[in-house]
Structure 1
Amino acid sequence: MTGTTSPTVLISGAGVAGTTLAHWLARHGFRPTVVERAPGLRSSGNPVDVRGPAIAVAEGMGVMPRLREAATSVGALSFVDAAGRRVGHVNMRALQRAAGSGEVEVTRSDLARILMEASSDSAEILFGDTITALHQDAHGVDVTFEKAAPRRFDLVVGADGLHSTTRRLAFGPEERFVEHMGLYVATLPLNAPADSPTDVVIHNAPGRMASIHPVHGQALAALIFRHPGIPDFRPRDLDQHKEALADTYRDDGWRVPELLDRARATDDLWFDSVSRVRIDRWSDGRITLLGDAASSVSLFGDGSTLAMAGARTLADELAATPTDHRSALARYEARHRTLVDPRQNNVASAAALMVPATSAGIALRNTASRLWPLAAAGTRLRRAMAPRKPPLGAAR
């Protein structure tokens, strides 16, 4: 990136990562353009968390008060058996207080809308379009779109999710980088009031979970199940997804038969593999990856937090050396991998808690759930009482 004009950056994907990056790039004097395949803001009502490093990012954008206003009212997890009797319970608010957490849970659609509104005045948005070709040289990237006229940018950022078009065009086919982690997830709105305005109600059978989550008073169903990779899995094939759910859950109790009937009848079903993206380098010249496109890791809500944190890091590093994109992208990757890499190894432990593989595992989880807030409080106390290392150069 040379010259005196503001550097141009094309961001593929108007999700959490892309809109956060657009905001911070504009704050640093770049000219961001966001291209999004969907015709408008995504409508997914799936709950996601803004926690840890993402809280500071949201506060810096001035959107944290709006996120807290839009927060869901979830306060507990209730585990139930096939007859609907409660067999385990976690007070999430007590857990958060014990851990000292300031996190907030919002729907993905609310988070995307609030982040988009924070960036729309400073970024060009191209809805209903996608990248079809990328050709870079030492000075920029020539981009071909499906609909818009070809354009040239100083940098291109792929923030377009697990099934990233940018990654495929710049780095190679998806199967080289995406590893199925043995689970699939489906969600669908039930278009009816939730049984409890504050509790996520969860039923497990070996290797399967079904839950009903209250979202602003309305019920959202989620089904997570262990399964080998589906041959010829197609992310947009609704019939394939409905068939997989019916085959997997057909013998389960509780409200599962009703949920399957709803899934068969709806066109608003989200279904995908829980996958891990592993790629040696996130950048190739003037093209880089962000969010799930670079490092999909999340099973239970960390994806949005990591996306926001990574977007802020990328923007800050580009601003630190605006005429040296190679060193900026290297620093961004080195910094953000320290957050991402540990979480890439935690999918198995998260699955063991929420989708135990055996009846014995379900019973053990239900019993242990009653001790989680106490364990979190103990961890916080131990950290507070631990001796602190003096800063470098301090007197001893």
Structure 2
Amino acid sequence: MRIVICGAGIAGLTLANQLAGRHDVTVVEKARGPRPQGYMIDFFGPGYDAAGRMGLVPDLESVGYRVSEAVYLDETGRRRAGLPFGTFAKAVSGKLISIMRPDLEAVLRAALPASADLRFGTSVTHIENSPDRVQVTLSDGSTMSADLLVGADGIHSAVRRLAFGDQDFVRCLGFHTAAYVFDDPAVHAQVADRFCLTDTVGRQFGFYALRDGRVAAFAVHRTPDPTLPPDPREAVRTTYADLGWIVPQALEACPGAEDVYYDQVAQTVLPRWSRDRVTLVGDACHAVSLLAGQGASLGMAGAYVLAAQLDKAPVADALARYEELWRPVVEEKQQVARDGARWFLPASESHLRIRRAAMRLARVPGVSRYLAGTIAGKTTAVIRQL
């Protein structure tokens, strides 16, 4: 079977890993090379299960980070609340890796079978979809006839637009987010082995210290306007200008716009994920948003589920079974994200104080397990049952 995958992110690379060798797989990616931008993510849940089945957990652990705690700090750097990472790790049976998103993608790229054709600087520009075949036109002018086209091209998916039309399937949640990496030895020393967050209302900065001496920063703020700014660097420096602690140093060291990841915080919601010989995977069809914290894991696991179905059933049946198995899992995570939005980034001082109190209760063993379990959401055995 000939399969074209649009998008060389986590979902696309996972799918290619699982299908190449048994099928003719081509992966096209519009970026000219691997993207260096991205968050530090806490990788757990069904994606961890999929990585285990793929034999990749040791490779992921080798580039992961050991984090002692997630801690909230006020404008002077004083600790206000926190949650030991060991508590959260216990809630997910120790199956937790803190890893930079680009490092996760690098592990998946390194594991690609030699038969997989990976083409950077190439995108899908036109499709002709039918019940039996899909004709794909690429940005270099070439065409490919395939048994299946998979859109693994993220929340702003071009494949989704081409296959399902211009209808807006993106549900904005009222936040913008940014991420970048910068050099500052003093900030690196202050962050140390913690995940540090500003204890602030409406806007928040977070920091991880990387092993190469740099610092990974991410920011999120509330806004009713989904429109993205023309200059991400200037938007970050302006929006967070009056936050305290080490934020001024981070803003001063913010790199150029091309090195800043910036996007709205949103979910994708579609009535169906497949149409004839085109299907979607990962954020293209079920983005859960930054608020749920499991986008990478769900993208990887969803691709694993799709590959498993394609290996054992005709295309139409495989696509239907993939959605039947995976949609309930991601819809639950999407609901968790929407329900927890006010606590992820409080909109008022009263909500901020309530969150502090809840975090302090995490020192109580029973409460700590409940809180960590709430953050993780329901477990799923879909991967283990395949």
Shared fold (TM-score, shorter chain, > 0.5): yes
Residue 63 of structure 2 is matched in structure 1 by 70
Mapped to 2, the partners of 1:198 and 1:363 lie a distance apart of 26
Mapped to 2, the partners of 1:62 and 1:264 lie a distance apart of 36
Aligned pair partner of 1:140 in 117, 124, 133: 133
Mapped to 1, the partners of 2:294 and 2:80 lie a distance apart of 27
Partner secondary structure for residue 229 of structure 1: coil
Mapped to 1, the partners of 2:209 and 2:342 lie a distance apart of 23
Instruction: For residues 168-194 of structure 1, give each alpha carbon's deviation from its aligned partner in whole angstroms, at most 9, with x where no partner exists.
Output: 111112x52011100111111112342
Offset, 1:92: 1.0
Unaligned runs of 5+ in 1: 1-6, 382-396
Residue 305 of structure 2 is matched in structure 1 by 313
Residue 198 of structure 1 is matched in structure 2 by 193
Mapped to 2, the partners of 1:120 and 1:41 lie a distance apart of 17
Mapped to 2, the partners of 1:198 and 1:44 lie a distance apart of 21
The amino acid of 1:21's aligned partner reads L
Question: Which shifted more, 248-257 or 267-276?
Answer: 248-257
Mapped to 2, the partners of 1:45 and 1:379 lie a distance apart of 27
Residue 123 of structure 1 is matched in structure 2 by 116
On the 8 A contact 1:210/1:221 being kept in 2, the answer is yes
The amino acid of 2:7's aligned partner reads G
User: Judging changes above 3 Å, is the alpha-carbon distance between structure 1 residues 44 and 120 closer, same or farther for their aligned structure 2 residues?
Assistant: farther
Mapped to 1, the partners of 2:362 and 2:274 lie a distance apart of 40
Mapped to 1, the partners of 2:371 and 2:265 lie a distance apart of 29
Mapped to 1, the partners of 2:224 and 2:341 lie a distance apart of 14
Mapped to 2, the partners of 1:92 and 1:244 lie a distance apart of 32
Residue 15 of structure 1 is matched in structure 2 by 9
User: Judging changes above 3 Å, is the alpha-carbon distance between structure 1 residues 307 and 99 closer, same or farther for their aligned structure 2 residues?
Assistant: closer
On the 8 A contact 1:61/1:118 being kept in 2, the answer is no
Offset, 1:87: 1.1
Residue 334 of structure 1 is matched in structure 2 by 324
Percent identical: 34
On the 8 A contact 1:299/1:350 being kept in 2, the answer is no
Residue 220 of structure 2 is matched in structure 1 by 224
Question: Which shifted more, 204-213 or 64-73?
Answer: 204-213
Partner secondary structure for residue 82 of structure 2: strand
Mapped to 2, the partners of 1:74 and 1:258 lie a distance apart of 22
Residue 42 of structure 1 is matched in structure 2 by 35
Mapped to 1, the partners of 2:256 and 2:121 lie a distance apart of 27
Mapped to 2, the partners of 1:32 and 1:261 lie a distance apart of 44
On the 8 A contact 1:73/1:214 being kept in 2, the answer is no
> Given the alignment of the two structures, is residue 285 of structure 1 paired with residue 276 of structure 2, yes or no?
yes
Mapped to 2, the partners of 1:10 and 1:378 lie a distance apart of 43
Unaligned runs of 5+ in 2: 374-386
Residue 247 of structure 2 is matched in structure 1 by 256
The amino acid of 2:221's aligned partner reads F
The amino acid of 2:253's aligned partner reads R
Residue 186 of structure 1 is matched in structure 2 by 178
On the 8 A contact 2:88/2:372 being kept in 1, the answer is no
Partner secondary structure for residue 320 of structure 1: coil
Residue 366 of structure 1 is matched in structure 2 by 356
So what's the TM-score if we normalise by structure 2?
0.89
**RMSD between aligned residues:** 2.1
Offset, 1:136: 1.9
Partner secondary structure for residue 180 of structure 2: strand
Partner secondary structure for residue 95 of structure 2: coil
The amino acid of 2:308's aligned partner reads D
Partner secondary structure for residue 132 of structure 2: coil
Offset, 1:69: 1.0
On the 8 A contact 1:8/1:155 being kept in 2, the answer is yes
On the 8 A contact 1:79/1:202 being kept in 2, the answer is yes
Instruction: For residues 299-326 of structure 1, give each alpha carbon's deviation from its aligned partner in whole angstroms, at most 9, with x where no partner exists.
Output: 15301110111011101111111xx211
So what's the TM-score if we normalise by structure 1?
0.87
Mapped to 1, the partners of 2:221 and 2:304 lie a distance apart of 33
Mapped to 2, the partners of 1:307 and 1:8 lie a distance apart of 22
Mapped to 2, the partners of 1:378 and 1:136 lie a distance apart of 47
Offset, 1:264: 6.7
Residue 303 of structure 1 is matched in structure 2 by 295
Number of residue pairs matched by the alignment: 366
User: Judging changes above 3 Å, is the alpha-carbon distance between structure 1 residues 245 and 42 closer, same or farther for their aligned structure 2 residues?
Assistant: closer
Instruction: For residues 337-368 of structure 1, give each alpha carbon's deviation from its aligned partner in whole angstroms, at most 9, with x where no partner exists.
Output: 12100111122344333311111222221222
Residue 386 of structure 1 is matched in structure 2 by none
Mapped to 2, the partners of 1:290 and 1:378 lie a distance apart of 31
Offset, 1:40: 1.6
Residue 344 of structure 1 is matched in structure 2 by 334
Instruction: For residues 228-269 of structure 1, give each alpha carbon's deviation from its aligned partner in whole angstroms, at most 9, with x where no partner exists.
Output: 1244x36xx4x1x23433443233222333333333756411
On the 8 A contact 2:20/2:113 being kept in 1, the answer is no
Q: How does 1:260-271 map to 2 (within 5 A)?
A: 260-263=251-254, 267-271=258-262
Mapped to 2, the partners of 1:211 and 1:218 lie a distance apart of 14
On the 8 A contact 2:44/2:92 being kept in 1, the answer is no
On the 8 A contact 2:267/2:288 being kept in 1, the answer is yes
Mapped to 1, the partners of 2:92 and 2:14 lie a distance apart of 27
On the 8 A contact 2:10/2:108 being kept in 1, the answer is yes
Residue 376 of structure 2 is matched in structure 1 by none
